[in-house]
Amino acid sequence: MFHRLSVSLLATVAISGTAFAQDVAQSGSQMYTDAEAALQQRLGETPNTHRARNVILFIGDGNGVASNYMNRLWAGQQAGGLGDDYVQPQEAFPELALVKTYNINAQTPDSAPTAGSMNTGVKQRFNLINLGENAITEDCTTEADNALTLFSELVTDAGKSVGIATTARLTHATPAAVYAKTAYRNWEGDVPAECTNSKDIATQLIDAMEAGTVDVALGGGARYFVPKGVETPNGGSGRRENDVNLIERAQADGIQVVADMAGLAAAGTDAPILGLWSDSHASYEADRPESEPSLADMTQKAIEVLSQNENGFYLEVEAGRIDHANHATNAKRAMIDGKAFADAIALADEMTDDADTLIIVTADHEHAIAMNGYCGRGTPIDGLCYDVANEGIMHADEPVLASDGKPYTVVGYLNGASSVMIEQADGTYTAPEGRPEITQDEAQDLDYTQQVLIPKSSESHSGVDVALYAKGPWAHLFDGTIEQNYIFHVMNYAVNNGE
Amino acid sequence: MLTRRVFLVGTSALVGACALPWQASRAAEAPIKLRELYNKDRSFSDLALANEGRRITVEGYMAPPLKADARFFVLTKMPMATCPFCEPGVEWPRTILPVYTRRTVDVVPFNVPITATGTLDLGEFTDPDTGFWSKVRLGNARYERT
């Protein structure tokens, strides 16, 4: 008995203390020593309680835990590795939380109230932006009494600058949450005729830039700044029903309006910048011409301009098109945009100091996306699921077959337009020929849309928690499972407290 | 490596404007992807320019038709249950291709892959019947499930 107890105690000491690591059979494994090194690093960390001069909020739209996993493997495999051991820049941040994303009246959230909750500190109702809980979606009479105070307004009062960078339209839900208050997220260029006291979202952006609550706004969506029939800076046509040309108004007010990479590069740091690269959303990264700034290009310029303010800044950066590619069940474009998102995060981290800049990386919501199995290591994340090999590390040469004898992709969605269910002449949906047979070449094509079950015109969000990664002042306040609106409270605390 | 694009462009350059029957049929045998008609700056690709006026085969999906008994449908590069671009007056997307067919369209469900073979026509055109404005289209076309 005594002998057995002694052995047990020795084993416990050996496992818990590195001094005895040599007594553990696997202690020579690199996996073991890497994990020990990670532990030692965490033991040496102390909370950063400095006052945050800057706050950068990165939002990967629709980039939930599953989508983030997909991005990780894509980036890692593009770098020549197996993918799953790759570390995206945000994944090296010290703090992590899971975020509950539901809206006041929606178990499955939409991007307007989720971004609004991060910018105001309270959850909001489906499809509206920055209005209190008694507001009604699409009822403009409820706007005035429910207008919320924005983080951009608070930090502007504190003397900071504010910026937005997005690959979506600047009037789209997530960027709009920085500056707009509206009963309906789709009122991007016009409001209903009876809403005489309301302003469309584009007008609210120019108002905010004139007021100084937004200093840099970079993204797509020029069509909502130009009247119908009038050419946009990108060669398209305006969509505004009223005759106010907001671009001319901005220019008259001294705002630099730029339309491409050359214009962005030439823009000075001494005046506000409005960058509009496209009439609607900016390009997917996979389709982006060199003349159009990437998300990293936008982030770099925004930080260069905003950091001129010695009082600091708040910058919201959105990778908007991860969401759009997921809606299209086009996983490949989503993961390519996910890599562009990671590149922007890495650049922002390099350009700022952890001592005074709180960087938060999160998503607004998850999608109805999941990964199939069981795939061997190194299986291309953008292709078919290849079997696990019994010897070695790499996957087997043959794809895993489903019960119907056909292969399937790693990435899957639950619903969407690429359903395997086909509409029949009588309006019913069925799959009389079963699932389509797919080859690896087809699955890895840029335009491939994953096989899904439930037919819908557009794949949906889901209510599953998303991750939040953080570093910098007060980042340690992000821990455990949090409500999405709590993000605002940490940001607001961080800019107002500490040495 | 000889890619399909290089092959088609090279072949087209050899024969110039006088397409030979075998050349046209060769092009029709190799379906191209919608995105191959464009450069990233939204201009027409060399492949598109080389095949202007020739019959090509493009793979994609049939968006729900604009009206019954039409001889026209929109080919989309991905399945689209509704076609937000299939209306007049919107900026031209690179994700669709109007197809004018020889016969009345027999609707194929929006998520069933098809190929459309027709004469590639480049340049702006407003359909007098539908008001549909396009920058590129297939004419005298047929289509089939793949």
Task: Write the pLDDT tens digit of every residue in A348-403.
Answer: 999 999 999 999 999 999 999 999 999 999 999 999 999 999 999 999 999 999 99
Asked if the structure places residue A22 within a domain, the reply is: no
Per-residue pLDDT, B85: 60
How many other CB atoms sit within 10 Å of the CB of residue A104? 16
Which of A192, A205, A200, A108 lies closest to A150 in space, CA to CA? A205
* Ranges A14-28, A249-263, A320-334, A420-434: which has the least confidence: A14-28
Please state, rounded to an integer, the average pLDDT across all residues of chain A: 95
Does the pLDDT of residue A15 top 70, yes or no? Answer: no
Domain count, chain B: 1
Per-residue pLDDT, A378: 98
Q: Which residues contact A193 (CB under 8 A, 6 or more apart)?
A: none
Per-residue pLDDT, A22: 63
Asked if the structure places residue A97 within a domain, the reply is: yes
Per-residue pLDDT, B42: 86
Nearest to B112 among A422, A456, A458 (CB): A422
Q: Which residues contact A315 (CB under 8 A, 6 or more apart)?
A: A54, A55, A56, A57, A162, A163, A164, A165, A216, A299, A302, A303, A306, A348
Asked if the structure places residue A36 within a domain, the reply is: no
Could you tell me if A191 and A84 lie in one domain?
A: yes
Nearest to A457 among B33, B81, B91 (CB): B81
Closest chain A residue by Cα to residue B95: A447
With the CA atoms of A242, A247, A248 and A251 taken in that order, what torsion angle do they form, in degrees rounded to the nearest 10? 150
Could you tell me if A355 and A375 lie in one domain?
A: no
* A172 in a known ligand binding site: yes
Could you tell me if A208 and A68 lie in one domain?
A: yes
Per-residue pLDDT, B68: 73
Could you tell me if A92 and A193 lie in one domain?
A: yes
> Which stretches in chain B have pLDDT values below 50?
1-28, 88-89
Q: Which residues contact B146 (CB under 8 A, 6 or more apart)?
A: B31, B59, B113, B114, B115
Could you tell me if A275 and A418 lie in one domain?
A: no
CATH no. for residue B119? 2.40.50.140
Signed CA dihedral, A120, A126, A131, A133: sign only: negative
Q: What is the DSSP string of A168-223?
A: EETTSHHHHHHH--BS-TT-SS---TT-TT---HHHHHHHHHHHTS--EEEEE-GG
Closest chain A residue by Cα to residue B35: A447
* A149 in a known ligand binding site: no
Could you tell me if A321 and A439 lie in one domain?
A: no
3-state helix, strand, coil in chain B (%, to 5): 20, 35, 45
Asked if the structure places residue A31 within a domain, the reply is: no
Nearest to B111 among A419, A446, A458 (CB): A419
Q: What residues make up the domain containing B55?
A: 4-145
Q: What is the DSSP string of B21-59?
A: HHHHHHHHHS-EEGGGGB-TTSSBPHHHHHTTTSEEEEE
Token pair in block for residue A348: 């922002």
Could you tell me if A298 and A316 lie in one domain?
A: yes
Determine whether the interchain pair B80/A289 forms a contact, defined as Cβ–Cβ distance below 8 Å: no
- Give residue A325's Cα distance to chain centre: 12
Determine whether the interchain pair B79/A417 forms a contact, defined as Cβ–Cβ distance below 8 Å: yes
| Segment (H or E) for A453 | strand A452-455
Could you tell me if A470 and A450 lie in one domain?
A: no
Pick left, alpha or beta for residue B16 (phi over 0 → left; psi -120 to 50 → alpha; otherwise beta): left
Asked if the structure places residue A41 within a domain, the reply is: no
- CA dist A104 and B124 (Å) reads 47
Q: Which residues contact B3 (CB under 8 A, 6 or more apart)?
A: none
Closest chain B residue by Cα to residue A229: B89
Q: Which of the following is catalytic: A67, A111, A198, A419? A: A111
Residue B106 or residue A22, greater confidence:
B106
Per-residue pLDDT, B15: 35
Determine whether the interchain pair B35/A436 forms a contact, defined as Cβ–Cβ distance below 8 Å: no
Could you tell me if A260 and A121 lie in one domain?
A: yes
Strand order in the sheet with A452-455: A369-371, A411-416, A452-455
Domain count, chain A: 2
A198 given a catalytic annotation: no
Shortest CA gap B17–chain A (Å): 30
Looking at chain A, the whole-number percentage of residues with pLDDT higher than 90 is: 93
Does the pLDDT of residue A92 top 90, yes or no? Answer: yes
Length of chain A in terms of residues written: 499
- pTM of the predicted model as reported, rounded to 2 decimal places: 0.91
Closest chain B residue by Cα to residue A437: B146
Per-residue pLDDT, B7: 32
Length of chain B in terms of residues written: 146
| Three-class SS state of A456 | coil
Shortest CA gap B15–chain A (Å): 30
Q: What is the DSSP string of A352-409?
A: S-TTTEEEEEEES-EESEEE--PPPBT--TTSB-BPPPSSSSBPPSSB-B-TTS-B-B
- CA dist B72 and B138 (Å) reads 10
Residue pair A491/A151 in contact by the 8 Å Cβ criterion? yes
Q: What residues make up the domain containing A465?
A: 54-367+461-496
The pair phi, psi for residue A44, each rounded to 5°, is: -90, -5
Q: Is A419 exposed, middle or buried (0-12, 13-18, 19+ CB in 10 A)?
A: buried
Asked if the structure places residue A411 within a domain, the reply is: yes
Could you tell me if A212 and A256 lie in one domain?
A: yes
Per-residue pLDDT, A309: 98
Asked if the structure places residue A338 within a domain, the reply is: yes
Q: Which residues contact A211 (CB under 8 A, 6 or more apart)?
A: none
- Complex ipTM: 0.81
- CA dist A131 and A204 (Å) reads 14
CA-based radius of gyration for chain B:
15
Residue pair B124/B134 in contact by the 8 Å Cβ criterion? yes
Asked if the structure places residue A159 within a domain, the reply is: yes
Determine whether the interchain pair B33/A422 forms a contact, defined as Cβ–Cβ distance below 8 Å: no
Could you tell me if A132 and A241 lie in one domain?
A: yes
Per-residue pLDDT, B80: 86
CATH no. for residue A334? 3.40.720.10
- CA dist A459 and A146 (Å) reads 32
* A323 in a known ligand binding site: yes
